[in-house]
Structures are given as structure tokens and as C-alpha cells.
Amino acid sequence: MIKSSPLLAEENIFKVLRSEIRCVLTDSEYIPLAYSEDRMDGKLANAFLADEAGAMDSYPIEAMRSSQITLFNKLGIIISTQYPNDNNGMIDEIDISKKVLDGLIENKRRFSLLYEPDEKYMQDDLWQTEDLVIYQSNPVAVAHKYIFEAIKEMREMAVLYENKRENYLCKHNNIKYKGLGVEGYIEITKVRPCKVKENLEFWKGRTVYLGIDLSMSDDNVCVAMICIDEFGFIHAKVWGFIPKDKKRIKTKKEDVDYDKLIKLGACFECGDEVIDYGFIETFIIGEDETGKNGIQDKYSVEIKQIGYDRWNAISTVQKLEKAGYECVEIKQHSSVLHMPTKLLREYILKKKFNYDENLMLEINFQNAKCTEDTNKNKYVNKKKSSGKVDQVVGLINATYLLQQEMLFGVDDFTVQVI
């Protein structure tokens, strides 16, 4: 911009150097900063520009804001397309802007231009055919037909080839999507419409099934609660657990903001370097023989059965059985898991599945990848998934028990052990 303007290009106004741009009139510098976790502090930014903020976490933005604390007229410009990662500095910025626009937060200094499709166009794969999705997310396509046609060509390729879908939806439709590869369990755009606000009154008096995935002692653990209502809808509530002292390492390694998940109530930290299974047992059973503050007490439900994978679960299962719960081993094999995996997917696609708002569960659905055996039986494969999927696995375990009741009645089925 400076070089193309004759009035600004003079050396006595701006000096354009390789490492910075200097303004002679104001004695200020414009410096490009590379992302760093420990070198963004200690600067005084009169103004800052964060480009492609979705590719980084919130630290650089907050460091720049902190540097402006003494200024009366603070200026920050944040620009980005959508990104598939969950530890994404742009997610909170968009949320804050929407709340300001809706009048939930008062901030007369915040100016936002948000280009994304209306909620109704983010469902039922309408992005594949509805041109308004392009116009709403790419206003430049309204005035330039050649850009619109180019985006339509990309859309055609994204419809035909799933490995092109993530880039297209994120960059050209501003729809958050993570799903490279043809083994994806279910698209997150199909899962999110099933989200509902937590309603404790709904659970009162329900008969529920629990699915647990205890995994390794230094990894994520899940407890999932599921039931079917009188209208044939499946309802689920899922909790995650992580080792407290591994939270920081896991946040960096997995690119997931566990502090945020804990604040949202989707996850609990317990133990130190390893999971405290006693915490999980108390979470399910309660504090004493009365069951106070256990799941049955807090949600006023009756736990009919608890499904589990034998791996790392024997000790906990023994305590659950001693407390009076019926525990059912679910063999983690494609011949056993195929039916509940298929049932859960079908109910989500038919919009007959509801889950209490849970960002961690959504992340797990994004990560989940399926494997087929020689008989075309599908199951979620932890090794091939692109991140943690424990909450999906726990949910499928709970769905298995529910499905057996739907097919045979709870007292008439046995577990297939191979």
C-alpha cells in the first residue's frame, strides 16, 4: 500500500525495510512477529494486526491486548477464515462478537464483520447445492462472477471427494469441519444439530444405561449415560476425565484446550500423573452406601446396567458390582460393536439423537475414524482416529446395552464373547 501511493512512498514519511516499516512522522515501527509462546510479552503495541488467527491459539492475541493496557485508544485487528482445529484463537473472538451483536455483552468499541452461512444452511448438506452459502460466506463473490464460478467448481470437487471437503468448507464457506479421509465415522456438521441444553428435569425417573471406557491409567477416561424416551429419541450425557498433572502436556500435544473443557463441565481432572479411578467410581456410585452425589442421586435415574471394556476395568467393575450395579462386558470386536456403531450413526442422521451440550464429545466425533473387517462390519478404531475418541467409544458401549433392550428386552440377552 505504501509503495503504490506517491504521497506515502517518500522516504521522509515511511521507510520500508526488510524487517520492519518505520513511520518517520510518528517515530513508530510496524514489525512482523513470528508466533512464540514466551516472546510475545513485554512489548508495547499501539496497534496490532493478527492475520489467520484461527491457525494459532489465543495467547498471541491476549499478549498484544495486555501490552495495550495503559493506552486510552486501543486498536487491534483480527482476521481469519475458519480452521478445523479446536484450540483456535478465532473461536472465542467470534463468540464474543456474536454476543456483542446480540446485546448480551456491552462493548461499543468492538466492530465485527462476520461472514458465515445462516444456521439453517449448515444442516442437511445444503452447502452442496445452496448458492446462498457461498454468497453469505464470500461477499466478494457477489460482485465478481468469476470468483463465484471458481468457488462453485471447488464445491463440486468437495462434494465428490471427501479429502477436499475440509479445505473447502473451512476456507470458502467458513464452516468448521474436520474430517480428512474416507474413514470418518460421521461428519460433525451432522452431529451438532443434535445438541441440546442440559435439562435435569428430563432425566428424572428415567431408566438409563452407562458405558465406560477406562483406557490406560495416564490417558482419557469416559463415562456415558444414555436412554430412550417415549417418542423413540435417544438421549445421551457424557463426561470425560483426564490426569490432572498431564493437562498441560495433553493440551499442547492434542491441540485441545482442556482448561476450557473443564470450565464447561465436559471434563474433570483427577489424580496426578495417572487417572484416579477412585474419583470415577465415586462419581458413579456416590460418596457412601447411600449413593449420595452419585449419578443416580444427582440425576434421579435408575442405572439398569453398566457396559465396559475389560481393558483396565476389572478393579473398578468389581467395586461397581459390589455397590449393586449389574456390569456387562462388551467385547471390543467388530462383530459386537458394528450394530451399536451403526445404530448411533443412523439415529444421528435421522435427528433422533440428542446430547447435552458437550464440546469434548464433538471433538471426539471429529476425530473418530472407522475400520471395516472382511464382513463389512464397521467399528471406531482408536489407532486410526486422528485424536482422542474415548467419549464416542463410551457412548457406543452404552448404545450397545440400549440396543439389546430394544431388540430382546433387558432380561433376555447375553453378551457375545469371542
359-414 pLDDT tens trace = 999 999 988 888 887 788 888 888 878 788 999 999 999 999 999 988 877 554 44
- Average pLDDT of the segment spanning 193-210: 94
pLDDT number for residue 374: 77
| Distance in angstroms (rounded) separating the CA atoms of residues 213 and 380 | 13
pLDDT number for residue 415: 45
Most confident range (mean pLDDT) of 27-36, 157-166, 285-294 is 157-166
Q: Return the H-helix or E-strand segment holding 93.
A: helix 89-101
Residue 225 · residue 301 · CB < 8 Å? yes
- Average pLDDT of the segment spanning 87-111: 87
Q: And the C-alpha cell for 245?
A: 498433572
Q: And the C-alpha cell for 398?
A: 452404552
Split at pLDDT 50, 70, 90, the class of 56 is confident
Split at pLDDT 50, 70, 90, the class of 16 is confident
How many H helices and E strands in the chain?
16, 15
Q: Which residues contact 239 (CB under 8 A, 6 or more apart)?
A: 222, 223, 224, 266, 267, 268, 283
Q: Which of 235-239, 307-311, 370-374, 398-402 has the lowest mean pLDDT?
A: 370-374
Query: Is residue 273 over pLDDT 50?
Result: yes
Q: Which of 87-91, 110-114, 274-278 has the lowest mean pLDDT?
A: 87-91
Q: Are strands 370-372 and 378-380 parallel, antiparallel or unpaired?
A: antiparallel
Query: Is residue 5 over pLDDT 80?
Result: yes
- What crossing angle do the helices spanning 390-408 and 359-367 adopt, rounded to 10°? 90
pLDDT number for residue 37: 67
Secondary structure of residue 125 in the 3-state scheme: coil
Q: And the C-alpha cell for 47?
A: 496497534
Q: Which of 6-15, 165-174, 322-331 has the lowest mean pLDDT?
A: 6-15
| Distance in angstroms (rounded) separating the CA atoms of residues 55 and 80 | 8
Percent of the chain with pLDDT over 70: 95
Question: Which DSSP state fits 383?
Answer: T
Secondary structure of residue 355 in the 3-state scheme: strand
Split at pLDDT 50, 70, 90, the class of 182 is very low
Of 145, 90, 130, 83, the closest CA to residue 112 belongs to: 90
- Average pLDDT of the segment spanning 45-51: 91
pLDDT number for residue 417: 42
